[in-house]
């Protein structure tokens, strides 16, 4: 999916931002730029499993928001009308994407070729 990254960030993301916070399996991740200190909002696919949130990296782990979250060690995600603070990001290599729901696993593995995800612990909910 890497070749489509620029199209997604310029066209799809702005369309998703207003609705991603209300759609199941989606959210808007808020993170701080490593060098700019600027606050960014990025629509993502996010799944909560107990006290963890999982984000399957459709465009790989080399995208700026992933680097920002790993560098800061924290971020927040707004999903289904709630803001959740996330800490302790960990990049996981798992070609089987075992924690993914079956339909997501199929799409991410077979269609997008995803083999990595970001696992973060929920710090608190507001």
Number of domains in the chain: 1
Instruction: Give me the helices (H) in the chain, please.
Output: 5-7, 13-20, 64-72, 102-106
Q: Radius of gyration of the chain from Cα atoms?
A: 14
Note the pTM of the prediction, 2 decimals. Answer: 0.81
Domain of 20: which CATH number? 2.30.110.10
Q: What is the pLDDT of residues 43-98, one digit of tens each?
A: 988 989 899 999 988 888 888 999 999 999 999 999 988 999 999 999 998 888 87
Our CA angle for 115, 117, 118, nearest 5°, is 160
**Domain span holding position 118:** 2-125
């Amino acid at each position: 999916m890497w070749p489509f990254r620029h199209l997604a960030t310029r066209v799809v993301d702005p369309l998703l931002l207003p609705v991603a916070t209300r759609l199941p399996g989606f959210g808007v991740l808020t993170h701080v730029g490593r060098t700019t200190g600027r606050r960014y909002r990025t629509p993502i696919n996010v799944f909560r499993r107990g006290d963890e949130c999982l984000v399957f990296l459709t465009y790989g782990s080399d995208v700026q928001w992933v680097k920002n979250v790993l560098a800061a060690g924290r971020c927040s995600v707004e999903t289904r009308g709630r803001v959740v603070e996330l800490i302790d990001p960990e990049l996981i290599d798992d070609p089987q994407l075992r924690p993914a729901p079956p339909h997501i696993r199929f799409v991410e593995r077979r269609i997008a070729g995803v083999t990595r995800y970001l696992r973060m612990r929920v710090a608190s909910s507001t």
